[in-house]
């Protein structure tokens, strides 16, 4: 029996970007980061003039994720791509993690699924997985149910709140239930 994978989105679950902008959420620290993926979203602006991205991160998430690493193989599944290992992992105290990459441009697929969904199912290749993301919807659940043979937990996280105690409880219970 293979260990389940845990696919991690950054913006939403780890960085509650939609929280009230003027008030840093409790437990989080503020970071100003300029990953290449962010610079690329400002075509025509010289790199030096691109305003850094404000990122809120919670060290408690690192502790909880390291502990989930006993049950899951953690994998980045985020627009940050490989830069999640450079910018996010060190702040949270996570080791370098594998990264899912997508060939297709970002957007919604014609069938209404989120652009990550098909690639994650392909990456999982039948292994059980949990996926935390703020952009999971009904079409994604339907797609996974139809195209993935193993157990799957698609766990939507509110981007105003980020991952909270209850979310970690759900993730732990899922992994324990399938072993
Ligand atoms: Mg997100």
Neighbours of ion ligand 1 (CB under 5 A): 9, 11-12, 134
Measure 179 CA to ligand 1 centroid, in angstroms: 28
Strands 53-57 and 152-156: unpaired
Q: Convert the pLDDT of each residue in 123-138 to its tens digit.
A: 999 999 999 999 999 9
pTM of the model: 0.94
Fold of 5-18+58-178: Rossmann fold (3.40.50)
Counting every residue written for the chain, the total comes to 179
Are residues 90 and 20 in contact, defined by beta-carbon separation less than 8 angstroms? Answer: no
d(CA 165, CA 163): 7
d(CA 147, CA 145): 6
Measure 158 CA to ligand 1 centroid, in angstroms: 9
Measure 3 CA to ligand 1 centroid, in angstroms: 24
Measure 160 CA to ligand 1 centroid, in angstroms: 11
Measure 152 CA to ligand 1 centroid, in angstroms: 18
Lowest mean pLDDT segment, chosen from 24-28, 53-57, 83-87: 24-28
Measure 9 CA to ligand 1 centroid, in angstroms: 5
Measure 172 CA to ligand 1 centroid, in angstroms: 21
Q: Convert the pLDDT of each residue in 8-44 to its tens digit.
A: 999 999 999 999 888 889 999 999 999 998 999 999 9
Measure 162 CA to ligand 1 centroid, in angstroms: 10
């Amino acid at each position: 029996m293979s260990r389940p994978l845990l696919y991690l989105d950054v913006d939403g679950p780890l960085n509650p970007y939609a929280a009230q902008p003027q008030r840093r959420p409790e437990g989080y620290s503020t970071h100003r980061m300029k990953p290449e993926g962010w610079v690329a979203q400002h075509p025509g602006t010289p790199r030096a003039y691109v305003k850094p991205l404000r990122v809120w991160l919670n060290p408690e998430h690192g502790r909880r994720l390291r502990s989930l690493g006993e049950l899951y193989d953690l994998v980045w599944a985020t627009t940050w791509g490989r830069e999640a290992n450079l910018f996010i992992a060190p702040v949270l105290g996570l080791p370098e993690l594998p990264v899912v990459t997508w060939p297709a441009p970002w957007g919604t697929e014609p069938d209404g699924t989120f652009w990550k969904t098909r690639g994650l199912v392909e990456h999982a290749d039948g292994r059980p997985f949990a996926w935390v993301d703020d952009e999971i919807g009904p079409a994604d659940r339907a797609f996974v149910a139809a195209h993935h043979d193993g157990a799957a937990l698609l766990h939507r996280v509110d981007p105003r709140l980020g991952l909270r105690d209850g979310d970690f409880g759900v993730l732990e219970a899922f992994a324990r239930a399938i072993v």
